[in-house]
Chains A and B, each alone.
Chain A
Amino acid sequence: MSTPSFDDALRRAVHLILKRTPLTRALLSTPAGFFSVEDTGMREVPVLSSPVPAEQGRLHLHQDHAVYWFNEQCSVWFPKYDVRELTGDSVQLIQDFLSFVPHDAEGGKDRISSRQLMDTLPYPVFTFTVNMAVCTWNLKMEGYIEDTAVSLSDCRLPELFLNQTEEKLEAALFRAAADGTSTFRGNLQSRSIFYTFDWDITPLYDEEGDIYAFSAFGRNQTRELDLEQEVLIAGMLQKSMMPPPLRDARIRLDPVYQPAGHVSGDTYGYYCKEDGRKIYAYLIDVMGHGLPTAIQTAAVRLLFEQAGRSSAPLHERMAQINAVSYETLPVDYFAAAIMMEFDLETNELSYTSAGVNHFLHGTTEGTASIETPSPFIGMFENATFTTETFFLQDGEHVHLLSDGIFDLIHVDKLAAITNYDDVCSYLKTLAVYHKRDDATAASMLILPAGDVQEASE
């Protein structure tokens, strides 16, 4: 059986790099000259047309991309050039590239060996036989097993990747043999640090077209997984901060909280004010998605929590929140919000909206959408808001919604729903099954005086 060559492995490695890199600059060099990578059957990559002269041993190109150079034997990767500005001509670039080829003692140019090329790669690469015995590897691979008991020169894959079984590795090899490539997750440990790698494996063929070995090309996923874990924890913390359903002699409050991703740009809150006479509730929908928006949401939420303790008219509180948000939110961030207060003695509902342009009002006749035209908060410094009031009858209900739910509502269907629990169920269904946007609702039912309901989840 042949021993896998670094030439073969290198071709595979570069092929994989080309497949996954947003590469815009590549060259293929042969004794006859340069031609497009398209001719090799690899992905089409445009040939540089306007390269620049080298300056103090560095190339300057106008985009922050790695530079690839291919010769007649294999492929060379120069990943660390300072890529800035594109001028000059292709002849000059060829000379520039050639200037990086090491010179021998007599000053003549010497072709770089495959091993040297492999060692320039910032990724761990190794080859192994069909029996999973490791054959060759580059310097980066050595770095990831330093300070361990593993010896690559006498090692099989199941010993190298302790999180993998022989059977699973075999399955990955079969997939690679059948499909031309496959991936498995294999962890390495270096200096007591665990690294999670995704290994792309591709078969190496002998002259008769039979597979005699495989090359493996590692992508370090540790950082991505750590980041994902942090976002997951942030999402759990967000959720833990959301108030649970509220049960009172006169009121029921029920939330729907369904982030589109791990974290949400929506939030809500409600509590009984200190005088015991008013219920204060709000809902916020900060523009955007992801962790940055979630952080802004937490900041805006604090403003709304504080606003609930004020006795100023709602529109003044909203204007104050807008002024602070305008000053503190990053440029181009803004939020939609709505706040309301319900007087338990008079059944008067007051509300002020800021870009949440509808809420729902349910009566014995059905549930209807109430328009609340208003500007967003954080968008314009001098935005003005209005406070509206009306009286709710016992048994009526209101539902504050973010547009992640409202935009999905069928008004005709809603109009026929009179029961509070049915509306809540409808909103929850929309939120759960349509995850295009963060979906949040805060629903409030007014109970007849003396009609105390059992607390339930």
Chain B
Amino acid sequence: MILSIQEEKENVRVTLGGDIYVQDASTLREQLLPYAEEGKSNFVFDFSKVTFIDSAGLGVLVAIYKRAAQNNGGVRIQNPQPQVAEIFTLTRLHHVFSVDPS
């Protein structure tokens, strides 16, 4: 699920992979929220290897976004596969996150 996490100053780059279901969401939350809570503000997620994300996974991204936004930052989604990009569009989260097409 989480393939790598790299941090540099206020930036965190996360590479995710596979299907992200509700069962994975708590692990994601546990591993990523601490970065946001310690003040990291710019989160970049490489979604090129993600094949699916459900609402619980989206919830984790929004939780990170809300904390990042408090620090004047945000969440950027890079290279989502078409079916995953569609999920962001359908849920209107493409208006919240910066979604860079693959």
A residues with a Cβ closer than 8 A to B are 285, 287-289, 331-332, 334, 336, 355, 357, 371-376, 379-380, 383, 403, 407, 436-437
Contact = CB atoms under 8 A, between A and B. Distances in A.
Contacts of B23: 436
B55 A355 contact: yes
Contacts of B59: 287-288, 332, 334, 379
Interface stretch (B40-48, B74-82, B90-98): B90-98
A403 B54 CA distance: 8
25 contacts: A287-B55, A287-B56, A288-B22, A288-B56, A331-B63, A331-B66, A332-B62, A334-B62, A336-B55, A355-B91, A371-B90, A373-B90, A373-B91, A374-B91, A374-B92, A375-B92, A375-B93, A379-B62, A383-B92, A403-B55, A407-B52, A407-B54, A436-B23, A437-B22, A437-B54
A361 to B, nearest CB: 17
SS of B interface (majority): helix
A374 B92 CA distance: 6
Given A288-B22, A355-B55, A373-B92, 17 more contacts: A285-B55, A288-B56, A331-B63, A331-B66, A332-B63, A334-B59, A357-B91, A371-B90, A373-B89, A374-B90, A374-B92, A375-B92, A376-B55, A376-B91, A380-B96, A403-B54, A403-B55
B21 interface: yes
A376 B89 CA distance: 12
Contacts of A403: 54-55
Nearest to A437: B22
A254 to B, nearest CB: 24
B22 A357 contact: no
Contacts of A357: 87, 90-91
Interface string B49-85: 0001011101100110010000000000000000000
Listed residue (B22, B23, B55, B89) with the most chain A CB atoms within 10 angstroms of its CB: B55
B64 to A, nearest CB: 10
Nearest to A334: B59
Nearest to B92: A375
A432 B55 CA distance: 21
Nearest to A375: B92
Contacts of B87: 357
B91 A375 contact: yes
Contacts of A334: 59, 62
B85 to A, nearest CB: 13
- Top 9 A-B pairs, shortest CB-CB distance: A357-B90, A375-B92, A332-B63, A373-B90, A287-B59, A287-B56, A287-B55, A437-B22, A379-B62
B80 to A, nearest CB: 16
